[in-house]
Structure 1
Amino acid sequence: MGEEQVWPGGEPDVSVVVPTHDVGEWVDECLSSLLDDQGVALEVVVVDDRSTDDTWERVTSRALTDPRLRVVRSTGSGGGQARNYGAALARGKFLVFCDGDDLVPAGALEAMLSSLSSSGSDMVVGDFLKFSPMRTWSPTARWNVFTERRAGITIAELPALLRNRACWNRMFRRDFWVENAIAFPSVPRSNDIVPMTTALLAARTIDVVPDVVYLYRERPGASSMTSRAGSSTSAASYLSQELVCAQLVAGAGDEGLAAVYWSLFLGSDGWVHVRRFVREPEGAGAVEPDVCALLDQHLHGVRARQWDRTEVERQAVYTLVRGGRVDLARAVLLTTGEEDVAPVPLGAVRAAEVLAELHRSGHMSSASLRAFADRHLVAALLATPAPLDAAVAARLLDLVRPLADVLRPPATDDESAPARRLRESLAAGDLSLLVGERPTIPAPVTVSSYRVASASAEIVVDLPGPVPAGATFTVVKPGRPSTRRPLDVVEAEKGSRTRRVVVTRSDLASEGTWAVELEVSTWLGTVYVPLLVDAPSVVRDVTRWGPLTVRRKKRGLVPVTVVRRPPLPRRALRRLERGLHR
């Protein structure tokens, strides 16, 4: 109904296409946000995609009282076909898309229309927020895209625009949309990333407005349009669309754009989908091999620079999935401890199995493989207090034998003596260190109290059990072992394991952050045991101009560190320089 209704007094300037599916709870609020306080001549085209709730009744009832609202049933199935049908019915000079459960802030359409009318650009993109019943947040806060108003730019001038490929926080010239044959594909998930990539690359010029032009409702569960597909189906749908996007970006021949695209895929969009697919064991079904094959095909085009910059655990998950080892990928994912779940270590044998698979794939560099080995295989073996069972040792030896080049420490490596000695033994196929009796490697020590004043820092430590003679407290700049300096030798004290350690300015050789650690001799050589403190318990008794301070941390166990400030005149000069550059 409502297909013959027209904008009173002439054609509308803006057509807003709203696909709906079972959004009866929210659609009235959505339509009110569009039809009230927008300040533009508009029509709203609602295309219902087979709703089973009261969505159809709500929108048709409202259309009877507002001639700007047109309501039709989709001729196809899915959100993509609903949007395409709505765009074909649109009569405005400009085209906007909005989902039926979201909101458009007052004045948003007017802000985008004003920009395009002034600049003559093909499209304009605005900022957006996400919200749920409990909070509202900005996904774009770190993008550096919506910090200022821009007119008549190209995607090459601001490639970060590619970070946002949703269809709803933008306005298009309708003739541009039609001339470039832009359309939404009929896929279960991610049906807007291809048309939006197409539009960004095809646009002669683009505008950016800093105004918040869209409010996206984050809905839990599987009721929203973007949540209805299972993890395997969703991942396969998404990856099939990313293959097209990668081809479009490669065809543009712009290295800056390609760098943004692969950073987006590896660090954000791709990781979200692959992680969900790996984490939810929905599927050993028929779709799972498709996901692995699609990811493998897609990553054949990855830029080496962006790949090598990706965290090694993520590289491992991507590599294992593309090779069909979803079981091993799930084990690696569990080590990251996401979403308030405690990390689950791989264990030595499992870590060696993963490392062998990664090595066979040929997709990770030697540096990445070595980093993975250090974090998961070497760390697991160092933390194992009991001798390895003979059968476990034999299995481990079989797995690490082909990995000698990865495990052998480089000549310039600054790693700890225990890790170096263990890696040398593994590379040589010698497990004698692991099958004999040995004492436990000391674990990180949580301090009893930590107080930082302007002139000194005082740490009280209750040592966990007997500490070998000659153990020493040290300070070191993190990542720079050559800066290590001794503080205080731990001497045997009758009846007490409590030690009081004082750090003064003279103990710190230069400005910057210093960590306090305990140096202990062990069965594998010298170990540096971190001191940890519960962040809220740190007492800061520092003055603004004192030589020492400590950086604030909100919560959790954090390393014990102390900061030596620059001399007072230098600090004053830096403040002056910062003020001049504002």
Structure 2
Amino acid sequence: MGGFRRTKPRLSVVVPVYNVAEYVSDSLASILRQPLREISAIEVVVVDDGSTDGSTEIVAGIAAADPRVTLITQPNSGVSIARHAGIEAATGDLLTFVDPDDILPQDAWTSMVKSLRRTGSDFAVGSAERVTTLEDGEERRYVTPLMRRNHTRMRLRCRIEDAPLMLADVFVWNKIFRRSFWTDNAITFPQRTRYQDQVALTQAFLAAKRFDVLTDVVYDWRVRTDRSSATQKRAQIANLVERVNTKRQTIEMVAATGSEALMHTLRTEILPIDMWEHFRASVDPTTEDPDRYWSLLRDAVHELWYDAGVPFEETTVPRGQRLMARLVSEDRRDDLADLIAMIDEQGPIKAIDAFCQESGFPVEF
């Protein structure tokens, strides 16, 4: 059924690298020290995407010392092309991904591979923790609310119709795939966008006949203090445009299934979850070309929710975020700036209550 019941599978690990000299040694070390309880062997395919900071030389040294590591170099082409190059070079039965500024916990893979060997599912997905290192060296760890909801209990041989909220798990690195599933379904990372995972993972969830959802934490998702991580640049026009385009592509894929339940979950619980950062950015004085940013954001809020018949007020995000979206939709930029300032000063509960009373908005916001 699964193909790996008697013989332990080989695992290919694809690591795209670009100017991460500060992090890549620790990341690769965490990969290479993983126990192989359910795996016969690993191959680590590192694709250097034209690094200029010494990352290439660091990886080359590690590859020279450990035959499990293969280094591929290419001109700078973006993380999507780097990952595709790694997938093409991979030879393992199973496939997983690691970002080079993140760290794997002590035993990241055993539970996922064990589950796949038992169930025959197309892929397994585990939980992840966000890890922030403070100035004094102390680590702060937390699990995002949606990650917590999705991984409160084990669910084996699952279909996306059984667990539509899994579409929110748009990360490639907390999963192990059968390589044949990935290649047979031509799972693709879009090029030149910082949100390529959402499109590829939506495609994977929709294509899967079954997948396993585990409760184990299998990945440490590190917050980079230098603010160079793509998800920490919301105030850029390109960031907003790429995010909206990613949401459009996701909507198209889910719409093609004909499932109203999946589409409802997508619009009310998944697509809105990161919009609050763009709402805040739209009134931040440091935001790039603020008038254009505001216009693009307002158009997106109308297109993705109000024009689609799902007012943002019907989404499941916190009430302050729903109120922010309403202000964006009504072109009330100054009021949005006032609301955000009140939230920062008074806290969300008092600020939102006071704003609604002063502005005549219904209290249920």
| Shorter-chain TM-score range | 0.7 to 0.9
Task: Give 1:264 deviation, angstroms.
Answer: 3.0
Q: Is the 8 A contact 2:128 2:217 kept in 1?
A: yes
Q: CA RMSD in A?
A: 3.1
Task: Give 1:333 deviation, angstroms.
Answer: 4.1
Task: Give 1:319 deviation, angstroms.
Answer: 4.2
AA aligned opposite 2:119: S
Task: Give 1:310 deviation, angstroms.
Answer: 5.7
Task: Give 1:232 deviation, angstroms.
Answer: 2.1
Looking at CA atoms only, which structure, 1 or 2, has the larger radius of gyration?
1
> Sequence identity of aligned pairs in percent?
30
Are residue 137 (structure 1) and residue 119 (structure 2) matched? no
Aligned partner of 2:177 among 172, 184, 188: 172
Return closer, same or farther for 1:193/1:63 CA change in 2, 3 Å cut-off.
same
AA aligned opposite 1:301: A
In structure 2, distance between residues paired with 1:288 and 1:82: 33
1:63 maps to what in 2? Answer: 63
Aligned partner of 1:281 among 282, 287, 310: 287
Indicate the SS of the match to 1:50: coil
1:238 maps to what in 2? Answer: 243
Aligned partner of 1:31 among 28, 33, 36: 28
1:122 maps to what in 2? Answer: 122
Task: Give 1:209 deviation, angstroms.
Answer: 1.8
Answer with 249-258 or 156-165: which moved more: 249-258
Task: Give 1:326 deviation, angstroms.
Answer: 7.0
Return closer, same or farther for 1:320/1:221 CA change in 2, 3 Å cut-off.
farther
Task: Give 1:67 deviation, angstroms.
Answer: 0.9
Indicate the SS of the match to 2:238: helix
Task: Give 1:169 deviation, angstroms.
Answer: 0.4
What are structure 2's unaligned runs of at least 5 residues? Answer: 1-7, 135-139
Deviation string for 1:288-316 (max 9, x for gaps)? 54444344322232535962666665345
Q: Is the 8 A contact 1:334 1:343 kept in 2?
A: no
Return closer, same or farther for 1:48/1:326 CA change in 2, 3 Å cut-off.
farther
AA aligned opposite 1:98: V
Are residue 307 (structure 1) and residue 314 (structure 2) matched? yes
1:149 maps to what in 2? Answer: 154
Aligned partner of 1:196 among 176, 197, 201: 201
1:99-118 pair list within 5 angstroms: 99-118=99-118
Q: Is the 8 A contact 1:188 1:229 kept in 2?
A: no
Task: Give 1:252 deviation, angstroms.
Answer: 2.6
Indicate the SS of the match to 1:222: coil
Indicate the SS of the match to 2:72: strand
Q: Is the 8 A contact 1:13 1:94 kept in 2?
A: yes
AA aligned opposite 1:215: D
1:327 maps to what in 2? Answer: 333
Indicate the SS of the match to 1:117: helix
Are residue 223 (structure 1) and residue 220 (structure 2) matched? no
Task: Give 1:256 deviation, angstroms.
Answer: 3.5
In structure 1, distance between residues paired with 2:319 and 2:212: 37
Aligned partner of 1:375 among 351, 357, 360: 357
Indicate the SS of the match to 1:108: coil
Q: Is the 8 A contact 2:283 2:290 kept in 1?
A: no
Task: Give 1:180 deviation, angstroms.
Answer: 1.5
Q: Which has the higher strand share?
A: 1
Task: Give 1:93 deviation, angstroms.
Answer: 1.4
In structure 1, distance between residues paired with 2:332 and 2:174: 36
Task: Give 1:166 deviation, angstroms.
Answer: 0.9
AA aligned opposite 1:30: S
1:261 maps to what in 2? Answer: 266
Return closer, same or farther for 1:272/1:133 CA change in 2, 3 Å cut-off.
same
Task: Give 1:317 deviation, angstroms.
Answer: 3.1
Task: Give 1:177 deviation, angstroms.
Answer: 1.1
In structure 1, distance between residues paired with 2:336 and 2:250: 27
Task: Give 1:16 deviation, angstroms.
Answer: 0.8
Aligned partner of 1:183 among 157, 163, 188: 188
Answer with 285-294 or 99-108: which moved more: 285-294
Task: Give 1:205 deviation, angstroms.
Answer: 0.2
Task: Give 1:229 deviation, angstroms.
Answer: 7.0
Return closer, same or farther for 1:343/1:42 CA change in 2, 3 Å cut-off.
closer
Task: Give 1:137 deviation, angstroms.
Answer: 1.4
In structure 2, distance between residues paired with 1:24 and 1:227: 19
1:298 maps to what in 2? Answer: 304
Q: Is the 8 A contact 2:131 2:223 kept in 1?
A: yes
Matched positions, count:
343
Q: Is the 8 A contact 1:15 1:45 kept in 2?
A: yes
What are structure 1's unaligned runs of at least 5 residues? Answer: 1-10, 345-370, 379-405, 408-414, 416-478, 480-582
| Larger relative contact order, structure 1 or 2 (CA cutoff 8 Å, min sep 6) | 2
AA aligned opposite 2:357: R
In structure 1, distance between residues paired with 2:85 and 2:233: 21
Q: TM-score, normalised by structure 1?
A: 0.53
Q: Which has the higher helix share?
A: 2
In structure 2, distance between residues paired with 1:193 and 1:266: 10
1:167-566 pair list within 5 angstroms: 167-227=172-232, 230-265=235-270, 267-279=272-284, 280-284=286-290, 289-299=295-305, 300-301=307-308, 303-304=310-311, 307=314, 313-322=320-329, 325=331, 327-328=333-334, 330-338=336-344, 341-342=345-346, 374-377=356-359
Task: Give 1:81 deviation, angstroms.
Answer: 1.9
Return closer, same or farther for 1:336/1:62 CA change in 2, 3 Å cut-off.
same
Q: Is the 8 A contact 1:128 1:216 kept in 2?
A: yes
Q: TM-score, normalised by structure 2?
A: 0.82
Return closer, same or farther for 1:374/1:140 CA change in 2, 3 Å cut-off.
closer
Return closer, same or farther for 1:14/1:276 CA change in 2, 3 Å cut-off.
farther
Are residue 15 (structure 1) and residue 21 (structure 2) matched? no
In structure 1, distance between residues paired with 2:310 and 2:73: 44
